[in-house]
Amino acid sequence: MGHNLGEGSEFDDWKAKIYAGPISGELKVKNGERYKCPFCCTEKKGYCKIDGLLRHALIIEGASTKFEERATHSALVEHLKSSLGKSSEPQSQQVALKPRLAENRGKQYVRPWTGVLVNVPTKWEDGCQVGARTNRLKEQLSRFCPLKVTALWNSRGHTGTAIIEFGNDWSGFGNARAFESYFMTEGHGKRDWKKKENGYSGLFGWVAMDEDYFYQGPTGAHLRKKGNLKTINDIENEGIRKTGKLVADLASQLEVKNRHLNELECEYNGIITLLDKMVEEKEKLILSHKKCISEEQQQARRRSQAIIDKNQKLRSELDSKLNELDVRTKQPDDLAARSNCERRSNEQEKQMPS
């Protein structure tokens, strides 16, 4: 995993040449559902599952001191990832780790979940030690889903140690354990690093725990600055406490909201009752108004009819008076005519001889 800085261009060119040439068609990697390394295994017994071949290629890429060997196995890693798909081993390892949680409950882990990567290749350049770029290391460890890779430095430069951060959640814990399991399986775990012989090469990795946390050096100083120690029980109890507090807070909020809802419901019911009463009063007013109008209309009709009747009576009386007046007006004329007639009759009688 990784190569010395300064080799970058030549390494990438060699890797690209191997990837485009032999791996693409000349060398046989797969036989049915079995795989083998075309650079190391020549006999039939060399076939294995894809996860095993990918582990083999990754460890040779990081551990080998031979430039060509690292380049060929790096090309093989790229081939397996791009052509055959990424291994699902980290997920399967996460599932496999769950039954073993019980035996690790009392052990203290650095949290956020952290991995320690040591023996990163370095070299002396421009008066200090330089090593692989952190983004290159993160790319090589991508199958374990690291969130961040930090190289540790001292007064002389790169210490050859890098800190791998996996996050706080249980998925991050599974990735950290998969990271540790991978190096342990390949003989490059923490115990192997402690027992290593002089000149032993390759990357070693493990999950950071209390021993690393209290280690006097850049590793311990960085872990104490960035994290703290927690057991599985501590984390689960903390989760239970947080869940209990969250439930209590939610219950309290629910109670407050229920009280507020009851108050709103009472206020709503009061408003509805008031509105019903106002509507009822409005309907009464409308009925009363209609009744008043109806009564007034009836009274007006009665008054009008009385006036009409009175006018008719007065007209009848007037007509009667006029008729009587006409009669009375004609009586003097009749009396005068009768008087003239009698007078002429008397005059004629007087003129007749006796």
Tens digits of residue pLDDT in 304-328: 899 999 899 888 888 888 888 887 7
Tens digits of residue pLDDT in 186-218: 889 998 888 875 557 788 999 999 999 998 889
Contact 209, 107 (CB under 8 A): yes
Q: What is residue 76's predicted lDDT score, i.e. its pLDDT?
A: 79
Q: What is the CATH number of the domain that holds 197?
A: 3.30.70.2890
Whether 79 and 129 share a structural domain: no
Measure the CA–CA gap between 346 and 203, rounded to whole angstroms.
Answer: 181
324 burial (CB, 10 Å; 0-12 / 13-18 / 19+) is exposed
In a domain, residue 219? The reply is: yes
Tens digits of residue pLDDT in 274-289: 999 999 999 999 999 9
In the predicted structure, residue 100 carries a pLDDT above the cut 50: no
Tens digits of residue pLDDT in 53-67: 777 777 666 555 566
Measure the CA–CA gap between 154 and 300, rounded to whole angstroms.
Answer: 114
Whether 19 and 72 share a structural domain: yes
Helix (H), strand (E) at residue 31: strand 30-31
Tens digits of residue pLDDT in 114-142: 999 998 888 888 888 888 788 888 998 99
Whether 166 and 204 share a structural domain: yes
In a domain, residue 238? The reply is: no
Among 230, 262, 296, where does a domain finish?
230
For residue 95, name the pLDDT band (cuts at 50, 70, 90).
very low
Domain that holds residue 9: 1-87
Highest mean pLDDT among 25-34, 40-49, 110-119, 337-346: 110-119
Average of per-residue pLDDT across 250-261: 86
Cα–Cα separations (whole angstroms), residue 141 to 29, 30, 175? 22, 24, 10
Other beta carbons less than 10 A from residue 341's beta carbon: 10
Q: What is residue 163's predicted lDDT score, i.e. its pLDDT?
A: 94
Total domain count, the chain: 2
In the predicted structure, residue 42 carries a pLDDT above the cut 90: no
Average of per-residue pLDDT across 290-314: 90
192 burial (CB, 10 Å; 0-12 / 13-18 / 19+) is middle
SS3 content of the chain, % helix, strand, coil (to 5): 65, 15, 20
